[in-house]
Chain A
Amino acid sequence: MTVTSQEPGPPRRTAPPRRSRPSPIALGIAGLIVALHVVAWNATGFSPAALVAGWEGIADFFDEALPPDLSWADVVKPSIDAAVVTLGIGLLGTTFSVPFALVLALLAARATTRGSITYQAARSVLSFLRAVPDVVFALVFVTAVGLGPFAGVLALVFHNTGVMGKLWAEAMEESDLGTRDALRVAGATRTQQAVHAVLPTTLPQLVGLLLYRFDVNVRSSLVLGLVGAGGIGFLINQSIKLFRFDEMVTHLLVVLALVIVVDQLSALIRRRLGA
């Protein structure tokens, strides 16, 4: 008796298509990206060797900075007070930019705006506000209202309007437009469509982006302090100028606590809102 053995394995099927090779365009783009990095390396004087050679300087810095100065009256309490001011700059800079960002976002989203002229104009305003760094806005407003946190708030309002307006407009454009169409069929005006369809369906994303920007703005307000907008950034700048690195480390620890608190608070609100 002859036994015919069968090869194990799956039955024969149509062969899967071969993956296509990268196109010359894709290879060209990859080459361009590499070339840009080489140029950037040279332009910035990027040198790991210099970092290694200068390790003694870093060691001296840590020697002077540690342990941090934890004297309550002279360092810690002023640091906490200044952190509250920094938090206030970030909070008001975010909140006061909401109405401007909302109006511009509605005008800059194709889901909610009618004419292309309005759309392009709103996009241009947002691009301008986004392109000017908040530090530059702060320097401009310092000349108008003097040194202090108010200049920082104004700077953040302007810059954040540009960034948040753009992010919100993108979120609205990516939203499901079916609800808007349902109301459009019912005869709702553009404003009613925005208020009763686009905004409520994108609300979780908008709130999520708002909290993200609050997080970023609190950290930005630190930097604004370096150019005279007050807050804990101002104290860090003073400590560096006076070579009081132990004070500076204390301020940085307060900043770390502030950032963690803001981050956790944002995450909590996002979870509650389902954003």
Chain B
Amino acid sequence: MPALRISNLSKSFGENRVLDGVDLNVEPGEFVAVLGANGCGKSTALRCVVGLEQPDSGEVDVDGRPAMVFQRIHLVHRRTALDNVCAGALGRLPLSRSITPRLFPRELREEAMWCLERVGLADHAGERAVRLSGGQQQRVAIARALCQRTNVLLADEPVSALDPSAAVNISELLGRLAEEGLAVVAVLHQPQLATRCAHRVVGLSGGRVAVDRSAAAVSQAEVDALYVPGGVAV
């Protein structure tokens, strides 16, 4: 059974039809990279899945609550990496145990440390987020998503603001998390990273799925066509 199933998803902003019947299934343990030109609906599709946008039509079925990481990372810079990770668990904490980070339960802090270990940042747990590099901040954001105990991790351009080395590291981390059983969907603007780290490549064009192949099988011509104005899959 897919961890994420998107059926006939459509969304318009005024006259602009951004998503036009998108279908996508993602299995547990699968890393799907979503490619496409700016404005083709990649981010909107993810935002519809997590509820930040309401689709006009279509269905979204998710195994549990999906987690999401963003291009601009969106950590609380004044707080430590550990406190930022703990915030991923707010959805299952009563207000009495979450009105301030000091009230977070001990078990949660231990779980958050484990999440930081999974992303390789346990030794930075006590540092303020503002002192971390962009790549480290994105790792903290991923740990925050893991602390949500999610089965589906969505990443909206998680490496666009990072240098090439950090971008590779984050992409490989997403691949490892998929191997651990997570269903991972990441919007990427780097086709090489997509074919190198993901299992499957999905290309959007004009709000529709134009390419859906295993990463090993996708051709350069298919990728190039996604970035041609008005382009379709070859």
- Judge whether A176 is part of the interface by a CB distance below 8 angstroms: yes
- Judge whether A200 is part of the interface by a CB distance below 8 angstroms: yes
Inter-chain contact B90/A200, CB cutoff 8 Å: no
Q: Which segment, of A54-62, A187-195, A241-249, A257-265, faces chain B?
A: A187-195
- Judge whether B67 is part of the interface by a CB distance below 8 angstroms: yes
Given A181-B74, A185-B50, A186-B89, A195-B99 contact (CB < 8 Å): yes
Inter-chain contact A201/B95, CB cutoff 8 Å: no
Contact with A along B48-84 (1 / 0, CB 8 A): 0011100000000000011111101011111100000
Contacts of B65 in A (CB 8 A): 186-187
Contacts of A197 in B (CB 8 A): 76, 87
Contacts of A183 in B (CB 8 A): 87, 90
- Judge whether A196 is part of the interface by a CB distance below 8 angstroms: yes
Contacts of B69 in A (CB 8 A): 182
Contact with A along B136-152 (1 / 0, CB 8 A): 00000100110010000
Given A185-B66, A192-B90, A179-B76 contact (CB < 8 Å): yes
Q: How many angstroms between the C-alpha atoms of A201 and B78 in the bound complex? A: 8
Q: For the side of the interface on B, what is the size category?
A: 20 to 34
Inter-chain contact B148/A196, CB cutoff 8 Å: no
Inter-chain contact B72/A185, CB cutoff 8 Å: no
CB distance from A111 to the nearest CB of B (A): 14
Contact of A185 among B67, B89, B92 (CB under 8 A): B67
Inter-chain contact B51/A188, CB cutoff 8 Å: no
Given A176-B74, A179-B76, A200-B76, A185-B51 contact (CB < 8 Å): yes
Q: How many angstroms between the C-alpha atoms of A179 and B144 in the bound complex? A: 12
CB distance from B75 to the nearest CB of A (A): 7
CB distance from B91 to the nearest CB of A (A): 2
- Judge whether B88 is part of the interface by a CB distance below 8 angstroms: yes
- Judge whether B43 is part of the interface by a CB distance below 8 angstroms: no
Contacts of A178 in B (CB 8 A): 70, 72, 74
- Judge whether A167 is part of the interface by a CB distance below 8 angstroms: no
Q: How many angstroms between the C-alpha atoms of A130 and B141 in the bound complex? A: 40
Compute the total of residue contacts between A and B using a CB distance below 8 Å. 70
- Judge whether B100 is part of the interface by a CB distance below 8 angstroms: yes
Residue of B nearest to A187 (CB): B91
- Judge whether A184 is part of the interface by a CB distance below 8 angstroms: yes
Inter-chain contact A182/B91, CB cutoff 8 Å: no
Inter-chain contact A181/B88, CB cutoff 8 Å: no
- Judge whether B98 is part of the interface by a CB distance below 8 angstroms: yes
Contacts of A171 in B (CB 8 A): none
Residue of A nearest to B147 (CB): A186
Inter-chain contact A182/B95, CB cutoff 8 Å: no
Contacts of A267 in B (CB 8 A): none
Inter-chain contact B148/A182, CB cutoff 8 Å: no
Inter-chain contact B76/A186, CB cutoff 8 Å: no
Contacts of B79 in A (CB 8 A): 200
Given A185-B50, A186-B148, A200-B79, A191-B72 contact (CB < 8 Å): no
Inter-chain contact A196/B50, CB cutoff 8 Å: no
Q: How many angstroms between the C-alpha atoms of A178 and B68 in the bound complex? A: 11
Inter-chain contact A182/B90, CB cutoff 8 Å: no
Given A178-B72, A179-B75, A201-B76, A189-B95 contact (CB < 8 Å): yes
- Judge whether A76 is part of the interface by a CB distance below 8 angstroms: no
Inter-chain contact A179/B52, CB cutoff 8 Å: no
Inter-chain contact B76/A185, CB cutoff 8 Å: no
Given A182-B70, A182-B141, A196-B98, A187-B92 contact (CB < 8 Å): yes
In the assembled complex, 28 residue pairs joining A and B whose CB atoms fall closer than 8 Å, in A order, are A178-B70, A178-B72, A179-B74, A179-B76, A181-B52, A181-B70, A182-B68, A184-B51, A184-B52, A185-B52, A185-B67, A186-B87, A186-B88, A186-B90, A186-B91, A186-B148, A187-B65, A187-B91, A188-B91, A189-B95, A192-B95, A196-B76, A196-B98, A196-B101, A197-B76, A201-B76, A201-B78, A203-B78
Beyond A182-B69, A191-B99, 9 additional pairs, beta carbon < 8 A: A182-B68, A182-B74, A185-B50, A185-B68, A186-B91, A187-B148, A192-B98, A200-B78, A200-B79
> Interface of A with B (CB < 8 Å)?
176, 178-179, 181-189, 191-192, 195-197, 200-201, 203
